């Protein structure tokens, strides 16, 4: 069977979301790395509708640009002062072509677990039964304040009654309105024109369309959904966390089924846009955020946060944080590493403990193993950066770049003052402060020479345990030690 395509999807996202108690509009709150309205848009796009309209009003200045950013083709519909889901739907229809025919889906901006698959099934059922309206419903033990589905004696859907307008008898109904529907667009337009605001909330209810269509002799049916999570709307932050956790559980399960080992799903957070190759292992306490990509057989964790970061096959990342970074195949990162945007570690390279990198291209097989700040750097293949090296990239006014050539070796505790460049195949002596260029094959030494002062302990620390130890070892004279009075080590 081919996939049915509705003519349009309308997403209602104009409400205020008072119960969130937030300066951020409800539909812009996020779970799984995506806004609530973003989830609604993703599901709508999966059903392949030709037109998508998103109805906005509350904090339009924030919601409309967000919608356009994630889906430039989405039509923004402005709801006027008339309140209610019915009015919102009318406004959503207004921006669609006037001669539109066929099926229009209406969904909510605050029901994030609804899937595209469900919308496809809804559209298929709606079109195959020839109904004018099909509403997605669920059976709940506690139907809370959802609208109730009123069926007639022969079991067909008669109307929806809102909780606030329901009689005690109607409140006892356990089949609820999810707020997701398929409509024949002509019937929808016609019925909406007849909806009034004569109800407990003084709003124009979309739910009234069902009773009106039914009274006009149209067929109204229900699409009962077993998966209750998909119909759950978010009204407050308790539900935000609840649905966020469920979405995460679903993401972990999906990836485990795709061949990813997740040692502790309960402490692993995977955003909806992350992707993984086969045989990846994720250890506890790990968050894979944004559009991160993790290659086959990589080991991530414990306690790693990756945001919009690409990790190559067979790489290993432990106890680290990486943002907008690229970690090459077979590379190793951590423990305790901080990779900031623009970090690109080559294949087989290493970023080790207590190393911070930013805008740093580190070549294949190059190593920055210990205690280093490496900002605005280009490091060639196979280079080695000694422990404690600082790339001094900022002079207080401007940022400069440091280049370290291929196979070069920077001794420990060096400061490379940018802009500066060290050629391929060069050495920098430990403890140097490098301010000028170093050529191929040269050793740069940029620090004070060592000076040994004979009998200093005897003169200045006489009688101490140190003095005793020196006497026992035999006090040295200049020339009697291999070190002498000059720096022989690096200059040899
Ligand atoms: C609505 C349904 C109810 C259903 C429930 C499912 C109506 C009258 N009631 O109630 O039967 O059980 O959803 O979650 O439809 N919105 C607008 N403009 C408005 C009002 C709301 O765009 O003027 C949008 C909101 O942004 C939200 C959605 O419509 O995305 C639902 O609004 P909400 O106020 O939460 O409706 P409920 O009272 O939950
Ligand atoms: Ca709601």
Structure confidence by residue, pLDDT tens digits, 246-260: 999 999 999 999 999
Catalytic residue numbers read 370
What structural domains does the chain harbor? 8-231 (3.90.550.10), 247-444 (2.160.10.10), 451-487 (no CATH)
Q: Please answer whether residues 8 and 53 qualify as being in contact, where contact means their C-beta atoms are separated by less than 8 angstroms.
A: yes
Q: Is the CB of 86 under 6 A from ligand 1?
A: no
Extended strands (E) in 427-470: 427-428, 433-434, 443-444
State both tokens at 4: 């049915």
Smallest CA-to-CA distance from 316 within 336, 302, 331, 296 is with: 331
User: How far is the centre of ligand 2, averaged over its atoms, from the C-alpha of 207 (Å)?
Assistant: 13
Residues 6+ apart with CB under 8 A from 436: 420
Q: Is the CB of 88 under 6 A from ligand 1?
A: yes
User: How far is the centre of ligand 1, averaged over its atoms, from the C-alpha of 179 (Å)?
Assistant: 7
* Atom number of ligand 1 nearest to Cα 108: 30
Q: What is the pLDDT of residue 479?
A: 65
Structure confidence by residue, pLDDT tens digits, 303-321: 999 999 999 999 999 999 9
User: How far is the centre of ligand 2, averaged over its atoms, from the C-alpha of 232 (Å)?
Assistant: 8
State both tokens at 158: 């008669």
State both tokens at 58: 């509350």
C-alpha span between 267 and 283 (Å, rounded): 9
User: How far is the centre of ligand 2, averaged over its atoms, from the C-alpha of 109 (Å)?
Assistant: 9
C-alpha span between 429 and 411 (Å, rounded): 5
Half-sphere exposure of 274 (CA within 13 A, CB side): 32
Residues of the chain falling short of pLDDT 70: 1, 479-492
- Closest ligand to the CA of 177: 1
User: How far is the centre of ligand 2, averaged over its atoms, from the C-alpha of 427 (Å)?
Assistant: 66
Q: Please answer whether residues 420 and 435 qualify as being in contact, where contact means their C-beta atoms are separated by less than 8 angstroms.
A: yes
Q: Could you give the 3-state DSSP secondary structure of residue 231?
A: helix
Q: What are phi and psi of 106, to 5 degrees?
A: -120, 125
Q: Is the CB of 110 under 6 A from ligand 1?
A: yes
CB atoms within 10 A of CB 4: 20
* Atom number of ligand 1 nearest to Cα 204: 8
Residue nearest to atom 23 of ligand 1 (CA): 84
Q: Is the CB of 177 under 6 A from ligand 1?
A: yes
C-alpha dist (Å) from residue 167 to 208, 383, 457: 16, 77, 98
Q: Is the CB of 136 under 6 A from ligand 1?
A: no
Residues 6+ apart with CB under 8 A from 242: none
Residue that the structure tokens 């039509």 belong to: 75
Please state the pTM of the whole predicted model. 0.92
C-alpha span between 240 and 253 (Å, rounded): 20
- Closest ligand to the CA of 110: 1
C-alpha span between 467 and 420 (Å, rounded): 45
Residue that the structure tokens 């993790």 belong to: 294
Residues 6+ apart with CB under 8 A from 301: 263, 268, 281, 282, 283, 284, 285, 286, 317, 318
State both tokens at 459: 């003169």
* Atom number of ligand 1 nearest to Cα 79: 18
Q: Is the CB of 360 under 6 A from ligand 1?
A: no
Number of H helices, E strands in the chain: 10, 39
Q: Is the CB of 92 under 6 A from ligand 1?
A: no
* Atom number of ligand 1 nearest to Cα 235: 35
From the number of C-beta atoms within 10 Å of its C-beta (0-12, 13-18, 19+), residue 140 rates as middle
C-alpha span between 105 and 412 (Å, rounded): 64
Q: What are phi and psi of 46, to 5 degrees?
A: -65, -25
C-alpha span between 364 and 374 (Å, rounded): 16
User: How far is the centre of ligand 2, averaged over its atoms, from the C-alpha of 110 (Å)?
Assistant: 7
Residue that the structure tokens 């990779």 belong to: 339
Residues 6+ apart with CB under 8 A from 333: 315, 316, 317, 318, 320, 322, 327, 339, 345, 350, 351
Long-range Cβ contacts of 265-268 (<8 Å, 24+ apart)? 268/301
Q: Which strand (E) or helix (H) includes residue 270?
A: strand 268-270
Residues 6+ apart with CB under 8 A from 398: none
- Closest ligand to the CA of 40: 1
């Amino acid at each position: 069977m081919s996939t049915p395509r509705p003519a349009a999807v309308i997403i209602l996202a104009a409400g205020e979301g008072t119960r969130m108690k937030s300066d951020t509009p409800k539909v812009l709150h996020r779970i799984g790395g995506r806004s609530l309205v973003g989830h609604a848009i993703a599901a709508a796009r999966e059903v392949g509708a030709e037109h998508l309209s998103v109805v906005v009003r509350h904090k339009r200045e924030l919601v409309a640009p967000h919608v356009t950013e994630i889906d430039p083709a989405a039509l923004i519909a402005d709801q006027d002062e008339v309140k209610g889901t019915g009015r919102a739907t009318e406004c959503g229809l207004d921006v669609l072509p006037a001669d539109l025919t066929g099926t229009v889906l209406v969904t909510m901006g605050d029901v994030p677990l609804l899937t595209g698959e469900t919308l496809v099934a809804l559209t298929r059922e709606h079109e195959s039964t020839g109904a004018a309206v099909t509403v997605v419903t669920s059976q709940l033990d506690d139907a809370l304040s959802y609208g109730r589905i009123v069926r007639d004696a022969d079991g067909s859907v008669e109307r929806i009654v809102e909780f606030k307008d329901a009689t005690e008898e109607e409140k006892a109904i356990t089949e609820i309105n999810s707020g997701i529907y398929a409509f024949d667009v002509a019937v929808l337009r016609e019925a909406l024109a007849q909806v009034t605001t004569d109800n407990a909330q003084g709003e124009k209810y979309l739910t009234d369309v069902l009773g009106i269509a039914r009274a006009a002799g149209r067929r109204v049916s229900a699409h009962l959904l077993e998966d209750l999570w998909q119909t759950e709307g978010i009204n407050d932050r308790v539900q935000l966390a609840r649905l966020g956790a469920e979405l995460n559980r679903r993401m972990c399960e999906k990836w485990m089924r795709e061949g990813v080992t997740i040692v502790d799903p309960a402490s692993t957070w995977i955003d909806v846009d992350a992707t993984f190759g086969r045989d990846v292992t994720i250890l506890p306490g790990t968050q894979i955020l944004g559009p991160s990509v993790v290659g086959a057989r990589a080991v991530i964790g414990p306690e790693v946060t990756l945001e919009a970061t690409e990790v190559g096959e067979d790489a290993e990342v432990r106890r680290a944080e990486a943002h907008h970074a690229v970690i090459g195949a077979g590379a190793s990162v951590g423990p305790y590493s901080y990779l900031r945007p623009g970090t690109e570690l080559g294949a087989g390279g290493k970023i080790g403990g207590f190393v911070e990198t930013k805008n740093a291209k580190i070549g294949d097989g190059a190593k920055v193993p210990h205690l280093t700040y490496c900002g605005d750097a280009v490091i060639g293949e196979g280079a080695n950066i000694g422990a404690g090296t600082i790339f001094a990239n900022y002079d207080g006014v401007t940022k400069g770049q440091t280049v370290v050539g291929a196979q070069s070796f920077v001794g420990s505790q060096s400061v490379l003052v940018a802009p500066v460049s060290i050629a391929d195949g060069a050495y920098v002596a430990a403890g140097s402060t490098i301010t000028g260029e170093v050529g191929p094959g040269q050793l740069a030494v940029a620090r004070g020479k060592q000076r040994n002062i004979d009998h200093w302990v005897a003169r200045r620390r006489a009688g101490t345990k140190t003095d005793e130890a020196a006497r026992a070892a035999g006090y040295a004279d200049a020339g009697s030690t291999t070190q002498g009075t000059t720096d022989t080590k690096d200059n040899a």
